């Protein structure tokens, strides 16, 4: 019942932005599904913890996209309680990602795995570096206009995905010169950033930076 409590009578422009946010999230779900499967497959083949972590992070991003779709569907569109629940759910999705990456790095270091070049990994991550910033920036703008930390938080995850993809690319390239530690270092850095962004999303600050 609480989802029926509305923030205020929404304007036509606000409703258009809400539909755009939902449409972008639906499109992102398709992208992330393909990205995750290919990224994990490439990571397993290359023994790259950062590449595997990046592929798994796509699943977490997909969860955030589903949350935003839920947030802007039906009577929840104008609901204050739905926004609060979605915002906290997006924060939790950040926190799921963070410990996974740390544990995965520890496992691979203990097993002595070292990343090797992967053509598939390079292609998939390069596509993310190019495309994800556009999706992330658009969602953060929509989040600011909608006063929706959930939407902005999803956009931040998309930007984080692009940054990690760039780091993974650098790690795969530098590993050729013996700098194997770049790959796990990027994964740990992502874990720290994800934990921080989760805290900001929980507090409702995602659309303010």
**Quick one: average pLDDT of 35-42?**
88
Rounded to whole angstroms, the Cα distance separating 194 from 136 reads 15
The answer to which of 2-11, 43-52, 112-121, 180-189 has the lowest mean pLDDT is 2-11
pLDDT given at position 24: 95
Whether the predicted pLDDT of 40 surpasses 60: yes
- Contact between residue 136 and residue 18 where contact means Cβ atoms under 8 Å apart: no
pLDDT given at position 117: 66
The average confidence (pLDDT) of the chain is 81
Rounded to whole angstroms, the Cα distance separating 102 from 55 reads 15
pLDDT digits over 80-95, tens only? 888 888 888 888 888 8
pLDDT given at position 9: 64
pLDDT given at position 106: 80
């Amino acid at each position: 019942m609480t989802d029926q409590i509305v923030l205020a009578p929404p304007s036509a422009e606000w409703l258009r932005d809400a539909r755009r946010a939902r449409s972008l999230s639906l499109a992102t779900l398709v992208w992330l599904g393909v990205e995750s499967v290919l990224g994990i497959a490439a990571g397993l083949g290359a023994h790259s913890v950062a590449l595997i972590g990046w592929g798994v992070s796509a699943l977490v991003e997909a969860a955030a996209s589903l949350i935003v779709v839920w947030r802007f569907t039906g009577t929840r569109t104008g609901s204050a309680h739905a926004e609060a629940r979605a915002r906290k759910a997006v924060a939790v999705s950040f926190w799921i990602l963070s410990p996974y990456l740390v544990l995965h790095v520890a496992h691979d270091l203990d097993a002595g795995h070292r990343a090797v070049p992967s053509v598939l990994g390079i292609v998939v991550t390069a596509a993310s570096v190019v495309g994800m910033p556009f999706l992330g920036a658009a969602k953060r703008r929509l989040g600011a206009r909608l006063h929706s930390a959930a939407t902005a938080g999803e956009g931040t995850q998309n930007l984080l995905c692009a940054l990690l993809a760039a780091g993974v690319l650098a790690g795969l390239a530098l590993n050729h010169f013996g700098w194997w530690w770049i790959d796990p270092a990027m994964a740990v850095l992502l874990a720290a950033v994800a934990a921080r962004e989760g805290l900001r999303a929980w507090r409702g600050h995602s659309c303010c930076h």
